[in-house]
């Protein structure tokens, strides 16, 4: 469904959010340990998220990655997915036709678009805050 890069990006963002609530910046090393991902690869993805203005980075001693506290609740899953995987999850034809077009539909278009729309809806209506809170309260997990 999502690329590995996107999976790592989502999990990293959640972990950063949790720590930002406590005013703590985190490093790629901590993050990759906590979400069980390759460190250098994760660092690349973090750079990408910084460029897309989803997280902040602070260089130098006592630096690390963080998210503005008041931005956590308004950051949608869709923004992260879009930053890393682009818009293909939303727009790509299920059978790979060049464009998903209502006037030139592939055989699964009608059935597929419903599911794709629900996925889109889900991603656009899920924010980092709720995901972070569930982790904090031990309801959900970031690894294994």
Partner DNA sequence: CACAAATAGGATAAAATTATCCGAAATAAA
Partner DNA sequence: TTTATTTCGGATAATTTTATCCTATTTGTG
**Cβ 104 to a second copy shortest distance, Å:** 6
Residue (20 or 127) nearer to DNA, CB: 20
Question: In the window 38-97, what residues touch ligand FES (CB under 6 A)?
Answer: 93-95, 97
Buried/exposed code over 48-64 (b: 16+ C-beta within 10 A; e: otherwise): bbeeeebbbeeeeeeeb
59 binds, among a second copy, ligand FES, DNA, none (CB under 5 to 8 A by kind): DNA
- The only residue of 54, 64, 72, 123 in contact with DNA, by rule CB under 7 A: 64
Q: Is residue 38 close enough to count as binding DNA by CB under 7 A?
A: yes
Those residues with Cβ within 8 angstroms of residue 64's Cβ, 6 or more apart along the chain or in another chain: 25, 26, 27, 57, 58
- The only residue of 11, 51, 64, 83 in contact with a second copy, by rule CB under 8 A: 11
The strand ranges marked E within the chain are 56-58, 64-66
- The only residue of 24, 39, 68, 125 in contact with DNA, by rule CB under 7 A: 39
Q: Is residue 96 close enough to count as binding a second copy by CB under 8 A?
A: yes
Residue (68 or 118) nearer to a second copy, CB: 118
Give the Cβ contact number of residue 26 at 10 Å: 19
């Amino acid at each position: 469904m999502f690329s590995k890069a996107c999976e790592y990006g989502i999990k990293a963002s959640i972990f950063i959010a949790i720590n930002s609530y406590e005013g703590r910046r985190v490093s790629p090393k901590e993050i990759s340990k906590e979400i069980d991902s390759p460190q250098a690869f994760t660092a690349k993805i973090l750079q990408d998220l910084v460029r897309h203005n989803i997280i902040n980075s602070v260089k130098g001693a006592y630096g690390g990655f963080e998210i503005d506290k008041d931005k956590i609740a308004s950051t949608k899953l869709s923004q992260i997915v879009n930053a890393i995987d682009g818009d293909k999850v939303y727009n790509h034809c299920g059978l790979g036709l060049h464009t998903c077009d209502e006037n030139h539909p592939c055989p699964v278009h009608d059935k597929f678009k419903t599911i794709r729309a629900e996925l889109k809806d889900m991603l656009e209506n899920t924010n980092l805050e709720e995901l972070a809170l569930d982790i904090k309260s031990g309801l959900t997990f970031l690894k294994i």
